[in-house]
Amino acid sequence: MTEAWKLTRGATPIHGGTRFSVWAPNASQVAVVMEGRGEHALESHGRGVFEAEVRGVGPGAEYRYRLDGKEAFPDPVSRSQPRGVHGPSRVIDPTAFLWTDRRWAGLEMADCIIYELHVGTFSEAGNFGGVAGHLAELKQLGVTAIEIMPVAEFPGARNWGYDGVHLYAPHSAYGGAEELRRLVNSAHGAGLAVILDCVYNHVGPEGNYLGGYGPYFTETYRTPWGKAVNYDGADSDEVRRFVIDNALHWITEYHIDGLRLDAIHGIFDFGARHVLRDLTDAVHAQGAALGRKVHIIGESDLNDPRVVRDGECGFAMDAQWSDDLHHAIHARLTEETKGYYSDFGGVLPIAKALERRFVFDGRFSAFRKRMHGAPATDVSADHFVVCVQNHDQVGNRAVGDRLSTLVPFEKRKLAAALYLLSPYVPMLFMGEEYDETNPFLYFVSHGDAALVDAVRRGRKEEFKAFGWGDDVPDPQAEETFLRSRLDRTRSAGGEGGAMLSLYRDLLKLRREERALRPGDGTVEVEHDETGGWIRLTQVPKGRAAARLVALFNVSDQRVDLSIAASGSVADRATRLLATDDNPYTPRAAPGRVPTKSADASGRVAVSPWSAVLHRVESR
């Protein structure tokens, strides 16, 4: 076993004091300024690195770095910012927490059923402790991993987290480092993995002091969110180390099981070794050294299988977000045709996404006005994460509306079945399991008035392509944040309670049926554009294993479908679930005829906007 990595930048408690280490090539002299304890010069160790051991300083001490005798800034590798992004950094001991998860070894990607959540709006408390208080119900729901939106210290108390500026410091308003460790420890005790959303394509504007230390950013490239990070220019070695160390720090000091990397298409590196491959390799090696399974999941809108391919040209990530299935389902159910939804619509895109990973796999995109994507059928299905709602697809709408306010109940249940019975790794967005109706809006609490105005203008500009007008809630208003909190009373009965029952049963099937384990078998998809139906057959490895056949009616007309494309299987078929079964239908719709069992020839009359699932035993 290789020796595990340890973080050496930043402030590290040692016997009798603290060791400080900072990369500051913009300065010729650096001193650490201790709050109430004076100033201590750091020694130059070459290539912009300054270090010193300060005796008599331990955990709890607060400090900044003074560059060339001028203004003092927080530590770029601060583990704690208890007074916010502009305040001093705090020394903490990363080894002090008493972990009880020694037997936890992580999960295979194929066994992940992911639940994405935002810490501030997931619970009434709005912090890490509030999340921990709901772990038991998440376990009961049937998820196996929680994915937490970014927690790196950001300005104010309200933010999605993508404006983080202190990448090593868990947000103080959420409870800081100690409470994040407590949450992860509790999750592992409950049998749940923890995935953390990390942002390495840019750093937020307010409280960002990195540029004062060195060339962390470049003018060579542009991102929609801020200055591009310098991964391939002069002095980029330490910048690459900064983000790779950050990834390793979460895996090591917080026992995180996986990292979701935000918008990697905004990470530019034209060097011989891409920073994302170096990061992925380093995380995998550290996981092996720690005896745990850890994963890297990339978010990319390029439909590029190189993200998850191994070999010299691949990044070798464990999975990537795959948006095409979401877009295809959403466009069919809502009939929206604006923005990127203009590339979708109809039955074919859903069928193709279910079978071939990407709808756009090298074909022309009218929205982009160019060819888009590449084929990915050679990559195992467990390398793709799919959803029908997530923070982007809900929150990046003008009024943050969920499916629960966009389409009728039967369509929402069908959407759940389409992706939870798909051959890929599913990801739920908080609240969808009980049909949450509160919106998930975009919110901030910046202290810079000019920045607030820029955010307001930017949000309105973003929605022009969708034709959603100017009725955009004020991102800075506290009311916008409060409206985005979950209201779990909806899960007690009615449509919310029925939806919760459906989700629990679908997730139970995912855990129990071999055919639904991503990457463990073969997938066959047939569809009829005119008839408005899809037949999805999943065959697990092994001759004796039963296959699953899902019939999806994605039309407003009842359709008569066969469980098999040819031959009768009625004597070997067991009906497992239909989305319009009584437990999932709190009140009967006038004139509606529920989907029934297959007849003697193996045919099923499937109700409009419904799905039915059968297990078919081998002969």
- Kindly list the catalytic residues: 262, 299
Report the distance separating Cα 368 and Cα 327, nearest Å.
15
Q: Strand pairing of 145-148 and 193-198?
A: parallel
Query: Contact at 8 Å (CB) between 59 and 91?
Result: yes
Q: What radius of gyration do the chain's Cα atoms show?
A: 25
Report the distance separating Cα 284 and Cα 280, nearest Å.
6
Token couple for 470? 């100017």
HEC secondary structure over 4-20: CCCCCCEEEEECCEEEE
Report the distance separating Cα 248 and Cα 252, nearest Å.
6
Report the distance separating Cα 410 and Cα 609, nearest Å.
6
- Exposed/middle/buried for 47, CB within 10 Å: 0-12, 13-18, 19+? exposed
- Exposed/middle/buried for 481, CB within 10 Å: 0-12, 13-18, 19+? buried
Report the distance separating Cα 149 and Cα 386, nearest Å.
16
Other CB atoms within 10 A of residue 471 CB: 9
Query: Contact at 8 Å (CB) between 525 and 355?
Result: yes
How does DSSP classify residue 557?
Answer: S
Alpha-carbon distance values, 200 to 13, 73, 321 (Å):
27, 21, 16
């007849």: which residue's tokens?
599
How does DSSP classify residue 498?
Answer: H
Report the distance separating Cα 304 and Cα 263, nearest Å.
13
E strand segments, 447-515: none
Token couple for 4? 């595990």
Angle at 387 (CA atoms; ends 285, 491), nearest 5 degrees? 115
Residues in the chain: 619
- Collapsing DSSP to helix, strand or coil, 372 comes out as strand
- Collapsing DSSP to helix, strand or coil, 343 comes out as helix
